[in-house]
Each structure stands twice: as structure tokens, then as C-alpha cells.
Amino acid sequence: MKTSKSWDDKPYFPISSYYKQTFGEKVYKITVSVAKTCPHRLQQYDQKGCIFCDEWGAAGHHLMKIGPLEEQIITNREKLSKRYRVNKFLVYFQPYTNTYTDLDKLVKNIELSIQQEQIAGIVIGTRPDCLPEELFPVLKDLGQKTFVSIELGVQSFSDQHLQFLNRRHTVLDSVEAIKNLKEKSGVNVGIHLMFGLPDESEDFIIESANKINQLDIDNVKLHNLHVLTNTPLEKMYQEGTFEPIELEPYAEKVMTFLKYLSPEIAVQRLAAVAARWDELIAPRWTKERMRPSQFIQSEMIKNNFYQGMYFQKK
Ligand code: SF4
């Protein structure tokens, strides 16, 4: 099985190794909350948004009582430094849609973040259809000063899946967003992808990996679709119209995906980690923080699988 020192002996290219190679040391993300909502929620009469998203817009527990940005950075930096002995951080604007704001405000928040001690750059989470044209030169300028990464909630390369998730953007929106970010701003680009959606064949997963290989994507974050309280998905789960995937079949999907994924693309996460444990309804295995990822890795090692084993450069 292929593992290498540059992958920290894992059967896939973990983002931690990418950060070490890029920054010369361990780097952790400090998650902060500045956005208050997303355009998708506001534009819908019932404000329900995506079927899996609760009212917190994917924020963690610690972000529910938020203070000023500087305070969030300092508090989280101290916690992470003590726990993991890390000296460098990226400020991650995670909940909701962080480019859905006026640009001056966004730039001010970014400037404030990179002025803080031990901050090596920023990561901005947003939707593929929320990248106004004026944003690209701004990101390009920021990219001259610091590390800038955009994380796009692509979720799936199937329009049917996007409709099922009520994402209200298309695959084409995602592809254009990735191309525009690279061509017009040159920033690092990550995408979030979900498995465990209805009618998800093995061929579709392989096609998704091949599509990603052809686009200029730096990293992927993988999630299983899980059910939180107070979401439209909860209702579907209670009515029996949605059943979350079990760990074993989910692991199969992830392994298939990784086998075809370019070994140059870093992987942020192998499975969802529930942001608020008390709100997770199903599947229960998503509550077991480390086990899903460890299970997938051990299955890969046992079967001699590794990222990119079937990747073919075009
Ligand atoms: S997942 Fe993102 S885009 Fe969808 S409703 Fe939640 S915050 Fe809005």
C-alpha cells in the first residue's frame, strides 16, 4: 500500500500534510463566526434553506455565543495552542455565506484577522453562486499579502442531488465559481462534497472524482449527509422518506472516490463531524468523532487502497 512520509503515513493526502508542506509546520484552523445569514435562507419565503442546514448555518457550539472577531480569534487560538501545541493558524470564516456582505466589511474582517499574532492566512466558506465579480480582484490583492483559501459548498456534481438538497444552485454554478476563483484571483480553492445521497452509483462517484481532477481544485472536504434537529431533513427522516447511510457503505463510497482522486489534491476530512452533538438525530455513528475516519483509513490499509491508485493524468 502506498503511504509516504509526505502524507504522514496515511493512505491519502491529508490537509495537515499540505499545511506542513506549505507553511513548514503544523497549522490549525481557528473557526470564527461573522456572517449572520445566507442569501439562500433570505430569498425563500419559509427561510428554510438547504434541507440539512439548521438555523445556525453549520456553526459549532462554541460559536453560538459569539463575541467580537478579535476576541474569537484570541480565545480559540489560546485553546488550540494549549491542546495541540500549534503555533500557526488560519482564521476560518465558517458559518453561513461569508461573501454575502459588503466587500468593505469583509476586507476589514480579513485585515483584522491577519494582523493578529500567529495567523498565517484565512479561509472563507461560501456558496458557489455568491461570488460577485468585484470580489475577485480583492481576493487577488489579499492573496499577495497572505494565504487565502475559499471553501465552496459544492456538495454534489449532480443537479438532481442539488435539487434534493434544496441548494438552489447548479453544478454549472459550481464549475464556474471554481474556474473564476482560479483564473481571476489565483487563490487556493477547496470544495465540500457529500456522499450518502439518493441514487448515488459507483460510476457517479468515479465521475465526480474525475471531474474534480480536471478542475483546478486544491482540497476536498467529505461529509456524509446527516440529520440535525430543526431541519427539513429531520421531517423527511421522521416520515421515512430519507434514511441516512450506514458507516460501512459510506466508507465504500469514500474509498472509491479516493482511489480515483488525484494524489495532488489534499483531503480535509473523510466524514462529517456533527457541529452540535445534541442536535444530531442520525446516523448515530456520526457522533463517534474519530471512529468513522479511523475505520475508513484502516479499511484502506487492509485492502491496499490509496488515494490516486487509479488516477490517470490527462
Ligand atoms: S447550508 Fe449554507 S447555503 Fe444552505 S441554508 Fe445553510 S447557510 Fe445557507
Per-residue pLDDT tens digits of the chain, which is 314 residues long: 565 668 999 999 999 999 999 999 999 999 998 877 788 877 655 557 899 987 655 555 455 456 899 999 999 999 999 999 999 999 999 877 777 778 899 999 999 999 999 999 999 999 999 999 999 999 999 999 999 999 999 999 999 999 999 999 999 999 999 999 999 999 999 999 999 999 999 999 999 999 999 999 999 999 999 999 989 999 999 999 999 999 999 999 999 999 999 999 999 999 988 766 788 999 999 988 889 999 999 999 999 999 999 998 87
Nearest residue to 65 via CA among 91, 95, 33: 33
Tell me whether residue 126 is in a domain.
yes
Please name the residue whose Cα sits nearest to atom 2 of ligand 1.
96
| pLDDT (0 to 100) of residue 34 | 86
Residue 31 maps to which CATH number? 3.20.20.70
pLDDT, tens digit (0-9, with 9 covering 90-100), for 111-145: 999 999 999 999 999 999 999 999 999 999 999 99
Nearest residue to 152 via CA among 104, 117, 185: 185
Domain that holds residue 150: 5-302
Chain centroid to CA 77:
20
Tell me whether residue 284 is in a domain.
yes
Q: How many CA atoms lie within 13 A of 30 on its CB side?
A: 31
What would the grid cell of residue 130 be? 455568491
Do residues 142 and 91 lie in contact, with contact meaning Cβ atoms separated by under 8 Å?
no
C-alpha to C-alpha distances, 297 to 10, 120, 302, nearest whole angstrom: 7, 29, 9
| pLDDT (0 to 100) of residue 61 | 47
Please name the residue whose Cα sits nearest to atom 1 of ligand 1.
53
Tell me whether residue 310 is in a domain.
no
Testing ligand 1's pocket by substitution, the residue of 37, 44, 48, 53 carrying the most ligand atoms inside 8 A of its CB is: 53
Its pTM surpasses 0.85: yes
Q: How many helices (H) and strands (E) does the chain have?
A: 11, 9
Residues in the chain: 314
Testing ligand 1's pocket by substitution, the residue of 50, 54, 63, 276 carrying the most ligand atoms inside 8 A of its CB is: 50
Tell me whether residue 313 is in a domain.
no
Tell me whether residue 314 is in a domain.
no
Note the maximum CA span of the chain. Answer: 52
Tell me whether residue 309 is in a domain.
no
Nearest residue to 309 via CA among 8, 2, 5: 2
Do residues 48 and 41 lie in contact, with contact meaning Cβ atoms separated by under 8 Å?
yes
Do residues 167 and 208 lie in contact, with contact meaning Cβ atoms separated by under 8 Å?
no
Do residues 192 and 153 lie in contact, with contact meaning Cβ atoms separated by under 8 Å?
yes
Count the domains in the chain: 1
Residue 46 alpha carbon to ligand 1 centre in Å: 14
**Rg (alpha carbons) of the chain, rounded to whole number:** 19
Three-state SS for 96?
coil
| pLDDT (0 to 100) of residue 35 | 73
Rounded Cα distance, 265 and 185, in Å: 19
| pLDDT (0 to 100) of residue 95 | 78
| pLDDT (0 to 100) of residue 186 | 98
